[in-house]
Amino acid sequence: MAATQTISASEFKAKCLDILDRLASHELDRVIVTKRGQAVAVLTPPDQLADAIRNIHGFMRGSVIIAEDVDLTAPVLDEPFTAETGDLHG
């Protein structure tokens, strides 16, 4: 079961690699580093690769609704393309 640990900056300095390993293995889900009793940093493990990709690509998934009468494959221009003449905008 993952847990939160609060440690002093000097203890973190002495045990840094072990703490990072415990975060990476999800033994810890959060480490709060304090200096003179005040929190100065919060460490969390990175997202799993699949979660990170899902958060970047498709983060708006489910937020757009396309009406049933809209055909996304239909042409949007009524005028002919003029690419063969080199015109950008007819």
pLDDT per position as a tens digit, 27-83? 999 999 999 999 999 999 887 777 777 777 777 778 888 899 988 888 777 766 666
Rounded average pLDDT over 13-19:
95
Instruction: Tell me, yes or no, if the pTM score tops 0.85.
Output: no
Nearest to 12 by CA among 36, 31, 27: 31
Q: For residue 52, what pLDDT is reported? A: 73
Give Cα 6 distance to the centre of its chain: 25
Structural domains in the chain, CATH included, are: 3-63 (3.40.1620.10)
Rounded CA gap, 79 and 87, in Å? Answer: 13
Q: For residue 87, what pLDDT is reported? A: 67
Q: Which uninterrupted H or E stretch holds 8?
A: strand 3-8
